[in-house]
Amino acid sequence: MRKQETSHSSIESANINVNLDSIPHENMQVALDYSQNPKGDNLTFHTKQSLFKKVKKRLDKLATLPSLREEKNGKDLKEVLHEKGVQRRDFMKWAAVVTASIGLPATFAPLTARAAELADRVPIIWLHMAECTGCSESLLRSEDPGIDSIIFDYVSMEYHETIMAASGYQAEKSLEDAVKKYDGRYVMMVEGGIPKDTEYFLTIGASGRTGAEECRHVAKHAAAIFAIGTCSSFGGVQAAAPNPTNAHPLSDIIDKKVINVPGCPPNEKNIVGTLMQHILFGDMAIDAFHRPKWAYGHRIHDLCERRGHFDAGEFVQHFGDENAKNGYCLYKVGCKGPYTFNNCSKLRFNSHTNWPIGAGHGCIGCSEPHFWDTMSPFEVPLGNRYQTAFSGAGADHTADRVGMVVLGATAIGIAAHAMLSGAIKPK
């Protein structure tokens, strides 16, 4: 009985009885198709009304599934938030922010709130490959957990080696049980790079299955697959030259679609937001590197709080100089913001406290493919080495609509600008 009561209150509390007539009929461009090509073709066009109805129907269907937390005598999201001292108002504010971040009109916020409440219907299997566990840590170890962390705690994590009690054969059995029980329904999240061909470099668990074997097996039965962090998305530090274990991204190991959520580590909001997109739509718009466009659609440089100083030719020349104290642009001490696509300046880290550039170090390009090799040395400007670093085809493709020529010119422009302004303002 408790199950029905709670499900009902969840639906009520999300209050999605929005008057459809209040939603404009105009078309909105919503790219929900994994298969869309990098140029943004094959977009699915919906009116806002039809999209709202479609999502509502999807959530109604999800609501009929049993709450996996309640099966384990857990609490519903309302209770969990209440326990953590989060007011309903703050939760709805969070839903409004996520709704705006993923590019939906404000009228969709109640749907986002409801999607969060129904997140406990979506089983998640999280696999660890070769990595530092920073991605998990960024979500789980927050001293003052934000709503994203709370929601991540609330989802039905059916398998996650860092937080589960089981080990050895018992752990392998729980993975197998979860794969069978939620066949075709779970979201597979993978953290870490994976040795390819040289699979023996990474064996996991009591029976010594290789990481690649485990990924292939779990992927076969997954409803959606997310590569969490730059290691799983692009190989990461393991794949940096000389890549002794022949580490590869998840997408090179399995033959199903992978959504990449890079960053070393990725922002918790990008992980939770991508999950929300999946729950709302079952699909999402991605860029050429399979990153969700809502999170990785803009350059760090374009959203940076120090951009005014870049434009004014005001640069930090050395760490600790007067210009550093004045918060000037970090380009000359190696900032790779002009070549990096992420939303860190907007979302920030540690409960929105700060982000790398805010703290006084340049962006090292941690959400870009092969950034350990292409963006280093990290405290030296990339300048016109851009073309060689990306072999003429790289970060420009991620912006989809920013052509190679334009970005190539930007890189050269940046170098020229930096030199010129350095001459004008040596200190």
User: By the criterion CB under 6 A, which residues form the site for ligand FSX?
Assistant: 131-135, 191-192, 229-232, 236-237, 264-265
Taking the CA atoms of the chain, what radius of gyration do you get in angstroms?
A: 22
Listed in sequence order, the residues at least 6 apart from 8 whose beta carbon sits closer than 8 Å to its beta carbon are none
Q: Which stretch binds ligand F3S (CB under 6 A): 102-110, 155-163, 336-344, 404-412?
A: 336-344
- What sign results for the dihedral spanned by CA atoms 110, 111, 112, 116? positive
Does the footprint of ligand F3S cover residue 263 (CB under 6 A)? yes
235 binds ligand SF4 (CB under 6 A): no
262 near ligand F3S, judged by CB under 6 A: no
H runs (alpha helix) in 264-403: 268-281, 293-296, 307-311, 322-325, 344-347, 356-359, 371-374, 386-389, 395-398
Q: Which residue has the tokens 């990096």?
A: 340
Q: Which of 364, 407, 411, 418 binds ligand F3S (CB under 6 A)?
A: 364
C-beta of residue 215 within 8 angstroms of C-beta of residue 194: yes
**Dihedral angle sign, alpha carbons of residues 79, 85, 88, 94:** negative
Q: Which is nearer to ligand SF4, 308 or 403 (CB)?
A: 308
| Nearest-approach distance from CB 423 to ligand SF4, in angstroms | 18
User: Other CB atoms closer than 10 Å to residue 13's CB: what's the count?
Assistant: 18
By a kind-dependent CB cut-off of 5 to 8 A, residue 358 interacts, out of ligand FSX, ligand SF4, ligand F3S, none, with none
Counting contacts by CB under 6 A, is residue 363 touching ligand F3S? yes
Do the beta carbons of residue 190 and residue 227 sit within 8 Å? yes
| Among 96-104, 316-324, 360-368, 401-409, the segment contacting ligand F3S (CB under 6 A) | 360-368
Q: How far is CA 143 from CA 99, 139, 354, 413, 419, in A?
A: 26, 10, 15, 42, 43
Is residue 300 a contact point for ligand SF4 (CB under 6 A)? Answer: yes
Residue type, 28: M
Give the binding range for ligand F3S (CB under 6 A) out of 215-223, 281-289, 361-369, 413-421: 361-369
Tell whether residue 233 is a contact of ligand F3S (CB under 6 A): no
Could you tell me if 37 and 46 are in contact, meaning their C-beta atoms sit under 8 angstroms apart? no
Q: Is 357 in the site for ligand SF4 (CB under 6 A)?
A: yes
Where does this chain touch ligand SF4 (CB under 6 A) — which range of 5-13, 52-60, 196-204, 335-343? 335-343
Q: Is 307 in the site for ligand SF4 (CB under 6 A)?
A: yes
236 token code pair: 């990461």
> Which amino acid is it at 45?
F
Binds ligand SF4 (CB under 6 A): choice among 362, 365, 369, 394: 362
Does position 332 bind ligand SF4 by CB under 6 A? no
344 binds, among ligand FSX, ligand F3S, ligand SF4, none (CB under 5 to 8 A by kind): ligand F3S
Among 138, 274, 367, 374, binds ligand F3S (CB under 6 A): 367
Q: Contacting ligand SF4 (CB under 6 A), which of 281, 331, 355, 371?
A: 331
Among 59, 118, 212, 357, binds ligand F3S (CB under 6 A): 357
Q: Which of residues 75-134 bind ligand SF4 (CB under 6 A)?
A: none
Q: Does 366 bind ligand SF4 (CB under 6 A)?
A: no
Q: Do 315 and 323 contact (CB within 8 A), yes or no?
A: yes
Amino acid at 215: C
Angle, vertex CA 169, rays to CA 165 and CA 175, nearest 5: 70
Nearest CA to 53 among 85, 17, 89, 11?
Answer: 17
Only one residue has tokens 């016109």, namely 384
Footprint of ligand F3S (CB under 6 A): 263, 300, 340, 342, 344, 355-357, 363-364, 366-367
